[in-house]
Amino acid sequence: MCIKRKTLYAMMIKFAKNQALKVVKTTVKTTVKTTVKTTVKTTVKTTVKTTVKTTVKTTVKTMVKTMVKTMVKTMVKTMVKTMVKTMVKTMVKTMVKTMVKTMVKTMVKTMVKTMVKTMVKTMVKTMVKTMVKTMVKTMVKTMVKTLSRLKPRINTMTFKTI
């Protein structure tokens, strides 16, 4: 079999062209595939990273804000409640103490006053009674003595009964 030179060249060119086309096609396919894969991978990675970062940041910020707000509110409420309770307790205690003190003071004062008054009254009454009795007794005795000297005839028995 004899191939002409021209045909051989034409066949060689056609073969080279086909090979070149195949190489270009494969290269383009590989490059496009790799580029698309890399781009998609990078884009997805960046997007996921950014989204996760933003979401986590926002969630944490909101959570911390809410927690702090609730904590402060509860703390203030408890503090105010305790303060008011303590204040009222102290106030009531002081009030009751003062009231009882005043009451007891007044009661004791009145009692002592009444007691002293009664005691003095009784003492004076007894003293006066005793004094008057003694005075009358002495007076009668003296009178009887004097009368018996003046009139020895008068019966002293009569005076004794007086």
Distance (Å, rounded) from C-alpha 17 to C-alpha 70? 77
In a domain, 14, yes or no: no
User: Is residue 39 located within the same domain as residue 73?
Assistant: yes
Chunk the chain into consecutive blocks of 10 residues (it has 162) and report each block's average pLDDT, rounded to whole numbers: 78 90 91 92 93 93 94 94 94 93 93 93 91 89 79 55 50
Is 70 domain-assigned? yes
Cα separation, 81 vs 151, whole angstroms = 103
pLDDT at 155: 54
Asked if residue 158 is part of any domain, the answer here is: yes
Do 100 and 127 fall into the same domain?
A: no
pLDDT number for residue 144? 82
Please tell me whether residues 91 and 126 are part of one structural domain: no
* Residue at 27 is within a domain: no
Reported pTM = 0.37
Residue 159: predicted pLDDT: 54
Length in residues, the chain: 162
Structure confidence at residue 141 (pLDDT) = 87
Residue 60 lies in a domain: yes
Q: Using CA atoms, how far apart are residues 34 and 12, in angstroms rounded to an integer?
A: 32
Query: What's the structural domain count of the chain?
Result: 2
